[in-house]
A and B are shown apart, each in its own frame.
Chain A
Amino acid sequence: MGDFRKKTDSQPPRLAVRFFKWFCKESWAEPLLGDLEEQYQIHRKAHATWIANLKFYINVFTLLRPFAAKSHYFNTNHAAMLKTTFTIFLRQLKRNPAHSFLTIFSLCVGLCTVFISSLWISYHESFDEMHEDASQIFQVKRNAIASDGTIQTRGGALYEVLQEAKNTLPAIDHVTRIISTWRWPSEQCLKVDESVDCLYRKGIFSDSSFFKVFDFKITAGAGNPLTELRSIAFSASVAKRLFGDENPVGKKYLLDNHYEVTVTGIFEDIPATSSLQFDFVAPLNVAYALWGMSIDQMKKGSFDTYVKLNNAEPMTVADQIASVPISKNYPEDSYLLHPLLDQHLYTQFENGKKAGGLIDYLRIIGLFAFFVFLMSLVNFVNITTAQATARAKEIGVRKVSGAQKSALQLQFLFETFCKVLIAIALAALFTYLTIPLLERIIQEEIPVRIETDTLLKLLVVALVTPFLAGTYPSYLMSRFNPVEIIKHTSLKEKGKGSVRKWLTVLQVSVSCIIITMASAFYLQLNFLQTKSLGYDPQGVLMVEPTFSHIKAFESFKDQLRSHPQIEAIGISNANMVQATNTTDQFYWPGKSSDQETEFKIIGGDQGLLEVFQLNLIEGNGFNPRDTIRQMVLSSGAVSAMDLEDPVGKTVEMGSEKYKVAGVVADINSESLHWDMMPTIYYEVEPRYSGTFYVRYDPLQPIASIEAVEKVYDEFEPFITMKYKILNEEYQRAYGHEQMISNLTSMVMAVAVFIAIGGILGLLTFNISKRYRELGLRKIFGASDFQAFKVISKEFTLILFLANLIGGVVSFWMMQEWLEGFAYRIDLPVYLIPLNLLGGVIVTFALLAFKIRKVLIQNPVEVIRTE
């Protein structure tokens, strides 16, 4: 219809005509267009052009009816089509097994990465979902404004405030307090008679509303097990270990060998996806009784507190809690209701709001997995289009015998779809097989849960992937010009080649990002684990004492010191790996009224200073014979207080007076995400200490531990000693980072693998395309090296460009991530050129290997090939 191409005055609007031709059936197009045009000419004579044009448009739209619309696959035998397409697909697979393997395998690797990472991510996202009203459960966090103006979010909430809030606010259904420490009394040595070894299990102490807030299933016992004062409930597996097959309900049990409680209930074992982990639960007053504290002390004080709301807006409730009358006593506090469902994922708070935690790592892994998937798609596209020339003749013949573009596109999409299906099946199998291995490497469970949801997602992947992978190749291949193909002139490769090049650039730069980031993770973690803490973490034992040891601490200490391997022994109420107790309730001579500095407080004794190699810079340290309470300041604390000659001065902590007995260096007693804080060591009596720290000769670990065990048994012959090695605990404190580092290293390996596959694909294609050219060059006297240079030029450019892009992005990402650490490595910029170097070496090695095959052949043979 060339008559519409030239736009003169009397032509109807072209856009409308094009639209009409697009939707209208071939058989109707001619008479209808004729009518339209005739009508248009009539209108042109009667009206202004724009009215005629408008009417033309209206007419076109009135013709948008089923009788005139194209029906695409009218008269096509679908079943026969699919069958031939499938047969051809199978033939293609067989004809070129290497190519088929490469495309399917690269997709499979990409999909496998996506599968595994999404299993891992959904596992972590499923935490705490087992409670029916999980979305209504919140932990009450307290936001307090610190001296430097920042808001500090803390776990504990004052009981009296929440008690009143519960009584006055209708939005709150239940409030429950939880005591869950990392050691005794939460950790108990469980056994029924004295002949068996201890079963160390962790438990919690809570209010009777505990089972109303949380949906942990009770399998035996009447109703709520926590209503009686001296009661306890065990998990099913622990109850079985303790009582065998007998019904444990109603049995008496001795906690700490002296406090009698009655078993009132059994609950199902707590699933691994609960952020609260415990094997027994007892009322709060049991914990207080074990501590030897009164019930009155229990009413004051702050606790980890959970509330269950009845569909109220948590922000409003938080404000309401801050405005109950009793809150006026604590004007600096505001509250944050932290959803239970976020508890596992968000553990860091900034400015009184959740800021991050494990979720950051889930996102990083998710992003990386997506990147790898993208790379595998790029590989697929590259290899398929590179192979397209081989199928050019097939396409040409099909076109000549009347295949339409759309039919060809459909054919190639269908082929891609088949390949994707194979890849999905293989990837599922692969995932299933590699998960046990992976679990061992990252030391974490990845449960495979197949739900309808999973299958639905899989279906989406199966439907979307073919389009992502197949659209461009099928578009390209269906547009080959049949005449050119059959004449065997060279295909116009220029435009297509450049798309492929850009895809390779994308792929290599993504792999560059992944490699750089994974290396940065590794370096930073390595740095943290080997960083000097201010003391030697090797050769320190953390021993859990029982009441007998605490009572007779002095003689325990003396007996222990008689062993030559034991160098020092000290006590503390804090976990020296993760000491997090801080306060600003300090008064010292010369403190300005507006100064509110937070200090870390650690209760200990002289022995603790020795164990942690805290050499006294000034003063003599704790003197046990002195009757006045004493404290030792870290040099950071001294400068924060701006004290001159601190030794002998009196500092008040809360309402108690302490005499400064010495100054020591700062050490790190917390995650290296944070800076060292000014620390104050105050004297505690053994009965308030939770852990004995023993420094032994690191060269004789076994003899040392045996010695400690021997002394331990003299005081507590029926209990197995429980101990931890400080260094191991310290490593464990970086569990997440360790796991992420392992995981990213694995993703990196996959990414490198795919990138190499991509480069190999492009290389093979380029060499095969320039096969004869290389032969000719050789005949005209080109040396092997010159021939090599011709091909390698393009790749050098790709590598440089990709490393530039990847370098910039990863530079920015590394900087962002490292800022989260108080102690961090210098930005490892050298990784970027290193990456480039690695890429160049690998590519050139592959190239040399591939090109050798051409160069060692007789050039005459090379030229002869078609």
Chain B
Amino acid sequence: MKGTHLGEFEELILLIVGVLYPDAYGLAIMQSLKDQSKRSTSMGAVHSALSRLEEKGFLNAHLDDATHERGGRRKKLYEITAEGKRSLELNRSLRNDLWNQIPDLAFEQLKNG
């Protein structure tokens, strides 16, 4: 059984898959990642993260119908699964929890400084 831990990069990808629904495929995800987070990644990194997420069960993939673009090749489209959503929520609540625990004082001093 693969680990179900969600890395930071994986989390970003997973979110973008959600954002791009229903047209989330490799290249689009990569470009969106670049536009939104100003992060330039390699095609290999994106696809390998996608395949890992699919293996962990956070993503479902299917091939769409062929078009005349892309030399007639089909795209591999991704969707978030329920498992993926749960994992995202877990990450988010953990983060919120941590936010709430930060004492106001911790940020107060920043203003003064």
Contact = CB atoms under 8 A, between A and B. Distances in A.
Same complex origin of A and B: yes
Given A67-B48, A67-B52, A34 B74 contact: yes
A30 B48 contact: no
A61 B74 CA distance: 21
A-B CB proximity, top 6 nearest: A62-B44, A31-B76, A34-B73, A62-B42, A34-B70, A67-B51
A671 B44 CA distance: 76
Contact of A62 (B43, B69, B71, B76): B43
Given A38-B70, A63-B47, A31 B52 contact: no
B26 interface: yes
Nearest to B51: A67
Contact of B71 (A4, A58, A65, A66): A4
Nearest to A68: B47
Interface in A33-63: 33-39, 58-59, 61-63
Contacts of A68: 47-48, 51
A59 B43 contact: yes
B63 interface: yes
B44 A3 contact: no
B63 A30 contact: yes
B25 A35 contact: yes
A33 B76 CA distance: 11
B32 to A, nearest CB: 13
Contact of A30 (B42, B45, B73): B73
B7 interface: no
B75 A31 contact: yes
A825 interface: no
27 contacts: A1-B71, A3-B71, A31-B25, A31-B74, A33-B73, A34-B70, A34-B75, A35-B25, A35-B26, A35-B75, A38-B70, A58-B42, A59-B43, A59-B44, A62-B42, A62-B44, A62-B45, A63-B43, A63-B47, A65-B44, A65-B47, A65-B48, A66-B48, A67-B47, A67-B51, A68-B47, A68-B51
Nearest to B42: A62
A254 interface: no
Interface in A1-44: 1, 3-4, 28, 30-39
Nearest to A58: B42
Nearest to A66: B48
A194 B26 CA distance: 105
B47 A37 contact: no
Nearest to B77: A31
B43 A36 contact: yes
A64 B42 CA distance: 11
A38 B31 CA distance: 12
Contacts of B63: 30-31
Nearest to A59: B43
A4 B72 CA distance: 11
Contacts of A65: 44, 47-48
A64 B48 CA distance: 10
A67 B43 CA distance: 13
Most buried by A among B42, B51, B70: B70
Contacts of A3: 71-72
Interface in B74-108: 74-76
B17 to A, nearest CB: 14
Interface of B: 25-27, 42-45, 47-48, 51-52, 63, 69-76
Nearest to A4: B71
Contacts of B69: 38
B23 to A, nearest CB: 13
Contacts of A66: 48
A67 B52 CA distance: 8
Nearest to B73: A34
Contacts of B26: 31-32, 35
Contacts of A38: 27, 69-70
Contacts of A64: 44
A35 B26 CA distance: 7
Contacts of A1: 71
Contacts of B27: 35, 38-39
Interface string A63-104: 111111000000000000000000000000000000000000
Interface of A: 1, 3-4, 28, 30-39, 58-59, 61-68
A3 to B, nearest CB: 5
B43 A35 contact: yes
A67 B27 CA distance: 17
B110 to A, nearest CB: 40
Contact of A31 (B42, B48, B72, B73): B73
A461 to B, nearest CB: 43
Nearest to A17: B71
Given A35-B26, A61-B44, A63-B47, 4 more contacts: A1-B71, A31-B73, A32-B47, A35-B43
Most buried by B among A1, A30, A31, A68: A31
A68 B42 CA distance: 15
A843 to B, nearest CB: 58
A484 to B, nearest CB: 31
Nearest to B45: A62
Contacts of B75: 31, 34-35
Contacts of B52: 67
B103 to A, nearest CB: 44
Nearest to B69: A38
B18 to A, nearest CB: 19
A39 B28 CA distance: 10
A37 B73 contact: yes
Contact of A63 (B44, B71, B73, B76): B44
Nearest to A33: B73
Nearest to B67: A34
A382 to B, nearest CB: 46
A466 B91 CA distance: 57
B94 to A, nearest CB: 28
A31 B70 CA distance: 9
B7 to A, nearest CB: 15
Contacts of B47: 28, 32, 35, 63, 65, 67-68
B112 to A, nearest CB: 47
Nearest to B54: A67
A250 B2 CA distance: 82
A35 B48 CA distance: 14
A35 B70 CA distance: 7
Most buried by B among A1, A63, A68: A63
A64 B44 CA distance: 7
Nearest to A34: B73
A30 B44 contact: no
A602 B69 CA distance: 101
A352 B21 CA distance: 87
Contacts of A28: 47
B26 to A, nearest CB: 4
Contacts of B51: 67-68
Contact of B42 (A4, A59, A67): A59
Contacts of B73: 30-31, 33-34, 37
Contacts of A58: 42
Contacts of B25: 31, 35
Nearest to A11: B71
Contacts of A35: 25-27, 43, 47, 70, 75
Nearest to A64: B44
A66 B44 CA distance: 10
A269 B48 CA distance: 71
B54 to A, nearest CB: 9
Nearest to B61: A31
Contacts of A62: 42-45
Nearest to B70: A34
B74 A30 contact: yes
B99 to A, nearest CB: 35
A226 B86 CA distance: 93
Contacts of B70: 34-35, 37-38
B47 to A, nearest CB: 6
